[in-house]
């Protein structure tokens, strides 16, 4: 037995998945690392990150085991939404550098075997884009590149009002009056982000041309932003009330969005983009889709075998469905559906953080950073890491006066904390020098977290135990045949333990490994019978990796009647028993004699 926190009824759920793999589909076993360029590395002293800074740090990304580098928008932009308001889809914003800088980045990445992926933002442009300026003036062919409407007249006041009740994600009406054109334009996000009209074939071609431009430049694919918002019903009928008691009339959640997201035409457009990418032949390119939607709708973005869509839509289940108070059943549900219920041949992926959500350390607690990384990196499919999660960066306190996020600014000083995304976007913490080594300027676009003297890359490299070292061990484990192509078993054990294994059965792979991951989500010690749950085991176990809060050292070996943290293994019935301290994330390794395997990794994650 192993004590991992009180024993009770056992709920089992068994899954078996074989991950197919080809040399061409490089992303299938990859770690995709999201870089938020404004906050990654500043080389010119203006307090904003740039392309040269990313190029300078590519060696670091190679060192930690990254395969693909996804860049949040670097296009020319007035920065009303920090790059998601694009004024030119085929140019680099000067704040990040030049096109030559981008080409240098691609070349350096190629030499390191890294692939560069761009954020593609098709739903809207900036209101400073030449297309929009010409659309206002009705200069062809740009007149209908955007969604315009005369609005209607209020029967009582006789004032002109928007055509319907649609709301912006950033709060308030989704329609803005333009005096020069004498019409309303539609914007699902900020006022300065007018929606593009994908019912216009010429606009569709323009966006395909933009994708082709970057593919010709050497990018390995795209993360497509805000996909569900591409189309709206032409009837412009009002959306129904949500009756959400917490939503104010201007809040996006005040309505049920039946007519403005996830329309049938949207799935067809994604399939068209996939066709454009597939037509490129070699090398293979990747398309990831951002779609915050219910599970069944999200799966539709995979497309069909006859009409494929995205290679994968992002799996946000470990952001939206679980948190620091979640039960094993919550984790089981969030994990199981992304293994068991995918379309045939579909590739899973695991996202635990991004630039729109609070950091892992702030959502789950700093003690669980390693555990969540273990989950993302050891489950089957693509692992996606947001910059800084590998060292356990935390949300930074950003005051109203320091706030830059337009979504927060639109909410006002009383409610901005409900909407702000600034805390997870603050500068990367490289070392303990000025501005955490992010910039030589003491003034940065967002404040550096005050914990940077202790929490930074260089400090973690020098430490014998750190998140950085654990992350590297996990990416190394991803190179094993089991993690790349092995089977997965997911279970809930008792009231408190979520568990999964990665293994190879029937000697299908030579020199394969077995991984056992236990997550105790309870506040009490629970006894788990590993033999009954995960058999067979072995009589000698080595600690492969342990979280920084586990109190267990890497590399220790224990076997028959040996003690490690009060844990022992016994031959014969092959049991492991003992107690594991709270907040422990431990990876064990043992020599095995079954199924041609050599070792097991066992992660024990105990939550208080």
CATH of the domain at 388: 3.20.20.80
348 in the same domain as 205: yes
The pLDDT assigned to 494 comes to: 78
Confidence label for 22 from pLDDT (cuts 50, 70 and 90): very low
| Positions marked catalytic | 225, 290
Tell which residue, 223, 296, 288, has the closest CA to residue 262.
296
pLDDT per residue over 293-343, tens digit each?
Answer: 999 999 999 999 999 999 999 999 999 999 999 998 999 999 999 999 999
Q: Is residue 192 in a domain?
A: no
Q: What does the alpha-carbon distance between residue 106 and residue 497 come to, in Å, rounded to a whole number?
A: 44
Mean pLDDT for 529-536 is: 64
Average pLDDT of the chain, as a whole number: 86
Q: 527-528 and 2-3: which strand pairing?
A: antiparallel
**Contact by Cβ (8 Å): 55, 65:** no
Lookup: tokens for 71: 């860049």
Any domain includes 573: yes
Q: Is residue 153 part of a domain?
A: no
Mark whether 345 and 452 lie in a shared domain: yes
Instruction: Give a yes or no: residue 139 inside a domain.
Output: no
Least trusted range by pLDDT, from 196-210, 366-380, 560-574: 560-574
Least confident window among 15-24, 251-260, 288-297, 385-394: 15-24
Are 493 and 552 in the same domain?
Answer: yes
- End residue of a domain, out of 421, 438, 472: 472
Quick check: 567 pLDDT over 50?
A: no
Cα angle 318, 5, 381 (rounded to 5 degrees) comes to 30
pLDDT at 552 over 80: no
Residue 568: pLDDT over 80: no
Residues 491 and 422 in one domain: no
Q: What residues are paired with 287 via a beta bridge?
A: 222
Q: Domain range spanning residue 69? A: 19-127+199-472
Residues 423 and 278 in one domain: yes
Q: In the block, which residue shows the tokens 């009339």? A: 249
Final residue of a structural domain among 472, 498, 527:
472
Confidence of residue 508 (pLDDT cuts 50, 70, 90): low
Same domain, 421 and 511: no
pLDDT at 549: 77
Is the backbone of residue 172 left (phi > 0), alpha (psi -120 to 50) or beta? left
Task: Report residue 190 as tokens.
Answer: 């900020």
In the predicted structure, residue 268 carries a pLDDT above the cut 90: yes
Residues 381 and 448 grouped into a single domain: yes
Beta carbons within 8 Å of 496's beta carbon, 6+ residues apart: 4, 5, 6, 328, 520, 521, 522, 524, 526
| 203 Ramachandran zone, left/alpha/beta (phi>0; psi -120 to 50) | alpha
155 lies in some domain = no
Same-domain pairing of 6 and 57: no
Look at residue 59 and tell me whether its pLDDT is greater than 50.
yes
Q: How far is CA 148 from the centre of its chain?
A: 34
SS3 for 59?
Answer: helix
CA atoms of 131 and 138, how far apart (whole Å): 10
The CA distance from 149 to 187, in Å, is: 12
Residues 237 and 344 in one domain: yes
| Predicted confidence (pLDDT) at residue 482 exceeds the cutoff of 50 | yes
Three-state DSSP class for residue 47: coil
**Do 550 and 419 have their domain in common?**
no
Per-residue confidence band for 536, with pLDDT thresholds at 50, 70 and 90: low
pLDDT digits (tens, 9 = 90+) for 381-421: 999 999 999 999 999 999 999 999 999 999 999 999 999 99
- What distance, in Å, lies between the first and last C-alpha atoms of the chain? 21
Residue 188 lies in a domain: no
Question: Domain count of the chain?
Answer: 2
- My answer on whether 265 and 325 are in the same domain is yes
Residue ending a domain, choose from 472, 501, 526: 472
Token pair for 343: 């379309």
Q: Confidence class of residue 579 from pLDDT cuts 50, 70 and 90?
A: very low
In terms of domains, do 517 and 463 share one? no
Beta bridge partners of 286: 221
Give dist(CA 292, CA 302) in Å, integer: 14
In a domain, 344, yes or no: yes
Would residue 384 count as lying in a domain?
A: yes
Q: For residue range 421-464, what is the model confidence (pLDDT) as tens digits?
A: 999 999 999 999 999 999 999 999 999 999 999 999 999 999 99
Residue 547 pLDDT > 70: yes
């Amino acid at each position: 037995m192993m004590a991992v926190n009180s024993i009770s009824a056992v709920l089992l759920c068994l899954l078996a998945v074989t991950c197919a793999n080809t040399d061409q589909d490089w992303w299938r076993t990859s770690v995709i690392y999201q870089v938020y360029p404004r906050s990654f590395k500043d080389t010119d002293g203006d307090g904003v990150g740039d392309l040269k800074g990313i190029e300078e740090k590519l060696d670091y990304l190679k060192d930690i085991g990254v395969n693909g580098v996804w860049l949040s928008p670097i296009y020319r932009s007035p920065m009303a939404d920090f790059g998601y308001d694009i004024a030119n889809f085929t140019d680099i914003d000067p704040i990040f550098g030049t096109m030559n800088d981008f080409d240098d980045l691609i070349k350096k990445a190629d030499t390191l075997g890294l692939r560069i992926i761009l954020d593609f933002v098709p739903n809207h442009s900036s209101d400073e884009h030449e297309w929009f300026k010409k659309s206002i003036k009705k200069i062809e062919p740009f007149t209908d590149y955007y969604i315009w409407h005369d609005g209607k007249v209020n029967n009582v006041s006789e004032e002109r009002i928007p055509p319907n009740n649609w709301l912006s994600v950033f709060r308030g009406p989704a329609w803005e009056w333009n005096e020069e054109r004498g019409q309303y334009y539609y914007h699902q996000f900020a006022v300065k982000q007018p929606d593009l009209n994908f019912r216009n074939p010429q606009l569709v071609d323009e966006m395909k041309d933009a994708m082709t431009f970057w593919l010709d430049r050497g990018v390995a694919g795209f993360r497509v932003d805000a996909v569900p918002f591409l189309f709206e019903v032409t009837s412009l009928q009002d959306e129904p009330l949500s009756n959400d008691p917490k939503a104010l009339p201007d809040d996006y959640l005040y309505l049920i969005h039946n007519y403005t997201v996830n329309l049938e035409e949207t799935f067809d457009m994604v399939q068209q983009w996939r066709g454009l990418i597939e037509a490129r032949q070699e090398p293979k390119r990747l398309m990831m889709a951002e779609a915050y939607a219910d599970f069944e709708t999200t799966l539709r973005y995979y497309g069909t075998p006859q009409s494929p869509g995205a290679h994968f839509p992002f799996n946000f289940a470990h952001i939206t469905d679980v948190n620091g108070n979640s039960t094993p059943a919550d984790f089981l549900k969030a994990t199981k559906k992304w293994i068991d219920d995918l379309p045939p041949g579909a590739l899973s992926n695991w996202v635990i953080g991004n630039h729109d959500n609070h950091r892992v350390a702030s959502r789950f607690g700093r003690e669980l950073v390693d555990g969540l990384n273990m989950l993302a990196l050891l489950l089957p499919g693509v692992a996606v890491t947001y910059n800084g999660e590998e060292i356990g960066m935390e949300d930074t306190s950003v005051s109203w006066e320091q706030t830059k996020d337009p979504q927060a600014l639109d909410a006002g000083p009383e409610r901005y904390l409900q909407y702000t995304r600034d805390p997870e976007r603050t500068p990367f913490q490289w070392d303990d020098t000025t501005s955490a080594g992010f910039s030589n300027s003491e003034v940065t676009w967002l404040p550096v977290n005050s914990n940077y003297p202790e929490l930074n890359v260089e400090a973690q490299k020098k430490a014998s135990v750190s998140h950085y070292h654990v992350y590297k061990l996990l990416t190394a484990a991803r190179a094993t045949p089991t993690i790349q192509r092995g089977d997965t078993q997911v279970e809930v054990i008792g009231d408190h333990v979520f568990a999964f294994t990665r293994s190879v059965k029937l000697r299908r792979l030579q020199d394969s490994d077995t991984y056992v991951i236990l997550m105790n989500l309870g506040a009490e010690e629970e006894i788990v019978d590993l033999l009954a749950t995960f058999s067979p085991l072995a009589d000698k176990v080595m600690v492969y990796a342990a979280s920084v809060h586990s109190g267990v050292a890497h590399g220790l070996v224990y076997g028959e009647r040996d003690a490690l943290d009060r844990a022992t293994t016994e031959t014969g019935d092959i049991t492991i028993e003992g107690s594991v301290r709270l907040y422990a994330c431990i990876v064990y390794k043992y020599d095995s004699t079954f199924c041609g395997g050599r070792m097991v990794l066992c992660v024990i994650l105990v939550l208080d």
